[in-house]
């Protein structure tokens, strides 16, 4: 009987303590240690960085920003990948609609050229994401 009373008292104390925490702020998030200015312009996702390399981009601006670049498969197997270019304004915020992933087949030791044109004239910068095809 004493154990039951002790158990009930402990459970009651936990419930009271839980009720007192309603006025406590939620935990804060952590700041990203990679500042936006240091974030890589070309991001290889899900381990592709060891198999896919890229060449310097060719950028033109005739009304809207256009980016073209070569990516190359350095592995001994064909890679099916997807990529998307995101266009950013002067503050680093994406402009225009969220781009769709584009499919590209990367033959062994061969390069492929990929390209995108911003749909928004506010685009001043860009990012490229490449991932294994899904």
pLDDT tens for 44-86 read 999 999 999 999 999 999 889 999 999 999 999 999 999 999 9
What is the pTM for the complete model shown? 0.75
Q: Would you identify the CATH topology of the domain 39-132?
A: Immunoglobulin-like (2.60.40)
Measured CA to CA in angstroms, residue 33 lies from 17, 29, 47, 89, 127 at distances of 35, 12, 21, 22, 19
Region 25-34: mean pLDDT is 85
Contact between 104 and 73 under an 8 Å Cβ cutoff? The reply is no
Which pair of tokens denotes residue 46? 């899900």
Residue 1: pLDDT band (50, 70, 90) is low
| Predicted local confidence at residue 89, as pLDDT | 95
Phi-psi region of 108 (alpha: psi -120 to 50; beta: other; left: phi over 0): beta
């Amino acid at each position: 009987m004493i154990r039951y009373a002790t158990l009930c008292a402990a459970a009651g104390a936990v419930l009271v303590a839980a009720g007192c925490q309603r006025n406590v702020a939620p935990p804060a998030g952590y700041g990203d240690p990679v500042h936006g200015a240091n974030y890589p312009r070309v991001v290889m996702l899900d381990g592709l960085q060891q198999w896919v390399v890229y060449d310097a981009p060719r950028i033109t601006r005739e009304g809207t920003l256009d980016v073209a670049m070569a990516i190359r498969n350095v592995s001994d197997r064909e890679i099916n990948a997807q990529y998307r270019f995101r266009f950013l304004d002067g503050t680093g915020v994406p402009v225009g609609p969220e781009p769709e992933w584009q499919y590209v087949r990367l033959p062994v030791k061969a390069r492929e050229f990929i390209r995108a044109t911003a749909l928004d004239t506010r685009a001043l910068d860009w990012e490229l994401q490449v991932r294994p095809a899904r």
